[in-house]
Structure formats: C-alpha cells, structure tokens
Amino acid sequence: MKPSKEQTLGYYRQALDRCLEAFAKLDENDWKKKASNRWTAREHLAHLVSTQEEESNRLTRQAIAGEPGNVPGLEKREDMAAFREKTLATLKAVPVPELLARMRAVFEEHIQMLEGVSEADLDRPATSPSWDRPGTIRDLFFASYLFLPGQYQEIRRVAKKKLPHWMEASTPEQVHFHLDRTFHYMPLIFWSSRGADMNVTYVFTMEGAGGGQWSVLIGDGKAESQDGAPPQFDTEVKTKPELWMDLAMGELNPVWAITTRKVQLGGNAGLAMKLGTLFSAGGE
C-alpha cells in the first residue's frame, strides 16, 4: 500500500533534518576527504544541491503545472553522468556553509510543493529523464526522499565515528518506509534496454526490525514491484536492511558478502549478480 501524503511528508522531513544535523558535525577536513570513487564529501554535498536545484524541483514544478518534464541539457538517461558533472562544476567554488544553506532551502521548497498538492494530484503522471518510463508526481517526491539517505551514506564514509549508519540509526518504522520506497521505486530506474529479453522474478527478503519482503517482476521489457513473494520466483536475496543499503551504495562487495553469508541467495544466483546493471539511477 502506497504511503499517504501525510506519511510521505513526515518521513521526508525526518530525512532532511537528519542529514542537516549530521552534516553539521563534519569539519573542514572531513569535507575535503574522498568519499567515493568519484567525489569528495563536499562534492557529494554539492551533488545533492545541484541535482535538487537543476532537476528535481524543476521536474516537480513542471509536473504539478501539467507540463512535460524538461531539463535543458538532460534529454535522456545516458546524459545523466555528464550532466551532473557539469552542474556540479558550477558549485566548485561555493563554500560548505553556503552549500548547506542551499541544501536546506531547495529541499524545503520541495517539501512545500508536496504540502501544496492534494492526495489525488500526487497520482497524476510525471516524467523524468532518469526514469525508464513515466511515473507519477508522488514518485518525484519519493525520488528526492531516497536521494537524501543515499548521499548521507556516501558522505558518511569520511567520518564513520561521527555519523551512524542510516539504517542502524533509524527506527523500525523508518527502516520499513525506506525499504518499501526503495523496492517500489526500482521499476522506474530499470534499464529496459539491458533487460528487454528477460522474464524473471526477484524476491527481496529483509530480515530484522523494520524488514519485510518485496518482489520485482521483469517481463515484456519492463519491471513491476509488489509487496510479498509470489508462489514461484527465480531468485531470492536475503539479508539485513543495513547490508542491503551497503550493497546498493557499492560499499559492500557482493562476492564477499555472499561468501561470508551476510547475503544469502536462493534460486539462480547469476541473476542476482545482474541487479546492479539492471537497476541504476546514475546513468552508468
């Protein structure tokens, strides 16, 4: 069952507040450290700001106005990596305090948009260059919500003693909401060009507080998600919520995780290894 507007507002606000509170604990040296293979912690912060300013808020305003999604310079999914590097470069000289202020402002503006639409309007159609197919206005808000924990985890790598793991510091209700939104958002970032000939069902079993079970079905060149597991499926991925998040963010090596039984696979293990290629929001 999809969350209501009020539920989405509550979790979205919590995520923004958690990020801002955590980022305030980092010092100048932390922000300069390499957080991922691509960027420093400061660059991941700038990525949060530039993507929300140039893509997410723009697309949401257009969808609410009934206009087609249009981001100049971002025509298709394959353009995403280059476009984001280009917009990130415009913030190269912006100091961290200003980036944090702009992050607060742009996400609060997005939350105000959510406050201003009706429950019914949230299910109106919307598009995004980062999606495989059209979604809804509701999906645009879910995308921005998911963006916050994702970049938090990237930035956290430079200061794990200061910042707790997102899942481990979450309540069971927050964990479940995040997982539910993750698995139901996956069909939008499915690469149909890479899975056009597939006809498979994935089951994701998340164990522990806040966990649950979800399925993603691929067939006829598209993906669909649902709660629970169907009677028959091809592959099951079983793990804990925090480990699933680490896998999704590239922080946990999948081969090592499977070998050490931190992640357990059922059915066709080879299909599980294709998940990173089939579902990606970054354009790679």
Phi first, then psi, for residue 150 (nearest 5°) are -60, -50
Provide CB contacts within 8 A for 15, sequence distance 6+. Answer: 145, 148, 149
Q: For the CA atoms of 207, 165, 115, 66, what is the dihedral angle to 10 degrees?
A: -80
Q: For the sheet containing 235-239, what is the strand order?
A: 222-227, 212-219, 200-206, 235-239, 264-267
Q: Which domains does the chain have, with CATH numbers?
A: 5-163 (1.20.120.450), 189-278 (3.30.1050.10)
Tell me how far the alpha carbon of residue 279 is from its chain's centroid: 11
pLDDT at 281: 74
pTM strictly above 0.85: yes
User: Is-contact 79 73, C-beta < 8 A?
Assistant: yes
Residues 6+ apart with CB under 8 A from 199: 218, 219
Q: How many CB atoms lie within 10 A of CB 105?
A: 13
Cα–chain center distance at 115: 21
Mean pLDDT, each 10-residue run in order, the chain (284 residues): 94 98 97 95 98 97 96 91 94 96 98 98 96 97 98 97 97 98 97 94 97 97 96 96 94 91 93 91 60
For 46, the 3-state DSSP assignment is helix
Give pLDDT, residue 179.
98
At 282 the pLDDT is 65
Cα separation of 141 and 121, whole Å? 12
DSSP string, 210-260: T-EEEEEEEETTEEEEEES--S--SEEEEE-HHHHHHHHTT-S-HHHHHHT
